[in-house]
Amino acid sequence: MPRRRVKGEGETISWRDCEVLEFICRFGVISRESVFIWAGTGRSVTLDRERRLREAGLIEVHPPIGRSGPLIAVTSRGLRLADRTELGPARVSVWSANHSIVCAQVAAHLERAGDQILSEREMLAEERELGERCYSAKRSNTERGWHRPDLYRFTLEDGEPEEHVIEVELTAKAPERLVKIVEAWESRKLRRIGIHETYEPREESPHWIIYLCAPKVVPFVERAVKKAGAGWCVSVQKLWFDHSPFARPESQTSGGLGDGRQPPKGVGAKPLDGRAAAATVAARSGG
Which pTM was predicted?
A: 0.77
Average pLDDT over residues 58-62: 95
- CA 189 from chain center: how many Å? 25
pLDDT band at residue 215 under the 50/70/90 scheme: very high
Average pLDDT over residues 52-77: 92
pLDDT exceeds cutoff 90 at 150: yes
d(C-alpha 246, C-alpha 152), whole Å: 27
Least confident piece of the model among 136-140, 156-160, 228-232, 234-238: 156-160
Distances from the Cα of 164 to the Cα of 5, 124, 189, 211, 220, angstroms: 36, 17, 10, 10, 21
Least confident piece of the model among 8-17, 189-198, 209-218: 189-198
Give the pLDDT of residue 241: 84
Tell me the residue type at 153: R
